[in-house]
Amino acid sequence: MKILFKYATVALLLAGAAACSQPSKRASIIDENIAVAEKQIGMLADSSETGGVIRIPSTWKNGRIDYVPVDDWVSGFFAGTLWYMYELTGDEAWAARARKHTEILDSVQYLQWHHDVGFMVYDSYGNGLRLKNIPGYEDVIVQTAKSLATRFRPVPGVIQSWDADRGWQGERGWQCPVIIDNMMNLELMFKATEFSGDSTYYNIAVKHADRTMKEHFRDDYSCYHVVDYDLTTGDVRGRCTAQGYADDSAWARGQAWAVYGYTACYRYTGDKRYLDHARKVAGFMLDDKNMPADLVPYWDYDAPNIPNEPRDVSTAAIIASAFYEMYTYTGDGLYKQKADRIVESLSSPAYRAPVGGNGGFLLMHSVGSIPHGSNIDVPLNYADYYFLEALIRKGRLEAGEPLF
């Protein structure tokens, strides 16, 4: 069932019989964000469909929108954002746009040269299937899982993230690099088993989650970004970073992927180990001395020039969405309180773009990869995606509705 958040008018109670009622102009934080998002995301969608050509916006910098090809790891987030706009408003025009932006990703179901197909297909086709039950979308999800399964390495028991002989990754001397981000692919695998009845995908997801839990985390439950495995013995060859400050630092978005990913694993398996692990990683983040009061993290918890380091809004949005889900399983009000605080922060002028600005993206001040000099202090399409997801989850919780 779609969520429809209407702009609320609150009647004021007046003390005197002669007084006149005056409607309050203050909408809820969810409604207010929807109103801004309709303008911003609508503007971005218009730009991305100029001339009848569907393009995929990833960021806005130097006064222009950057578009990415279908095989880029962020290619599914804008389609997912459009599906979320449909879910938030009930306006069929958003669904029509979302479908166009989803179906240009059709070829991703056969992609085998990197691991990010979970982001690319489940955020697009998965949301479309959930909201509209469109024929053929389920088949795309299962085929995508089949392609991702070709990257499963049975000896170490993990899904290999990157090919070790391509691009800059090929210069690191890795055999089987696995990044913490890969936890975000597992929902696709669980769903593929649900749709197909083939337990292969479920079993791969569980094996990957278990080995990652064992090898990626330090005693304080911060995580390494990259773990490299030996394909012959299955042993760990090294632990390092690619996008964080240092090999032994806590790259902020990596911690968020871990919390979100293990919470989702609990949703599909009911294995309490996963929820407990997510809570421990969340505890690391919340207790870290460098977590700002507004809960929008610096790009790395150990970056050397804090507080003069870039914030990463995308990390905050991911955390908020994950915390709302964690609250439903634990009943611990801390998670909802912290998620609400993040939503308040991201709804402020410090992080939410003014209407008509930011190229149409909703949020400002995200970080892609500082070590690569890529997308530093710019909007990112996945920050918008997870922020809208957090709003949906917040609305469902406060309406007493199930999240899923």
DSSP secondary-structure letter at 124?
A: I
Q: How many CB atoms lie within 10 A of CB 237?
A: 17
Q: Which of 123, 181, 228, 300 is catalytic?
A: 181
**In what helix (H) or strand (E) does residue 267 lie, and over which residues does it extend?**
helix 252-269
DSSP secondary-structure letter at 87?
A: H
Q: Which of 46, 66, 71, 116 is catalytic?
A: 116
User: Per the structure block, which two tokens stand in for 265?
Assistant: 């694993």
The residue ranges of DSSP E strands in 105-192, in sequence order, are: 152-153, 158-159, 176-179
d(CA 43, CA 40) in angstroms, rounded, equals 5
Our answer to whether residue 276 is catalytic in this structure is no
Our answer to whether residue 181 is catalytic in this structure is yes
User: Per the structure block, which two tokens stand in for 356?
Assistant: 């008509």
Per the rule left: phi > 0, alpha: psi between -120 and 50, beta: everything else, 271 is beta
d(CA 46, CA 44) in angstroms, rounded, equals 5
Check: CB of residue 395 under 8 Å from CB of residue 320: no
d(CA 137, CA 128) in angstroms, rounded, equals 8
Residues with catalytic function:
116, 181
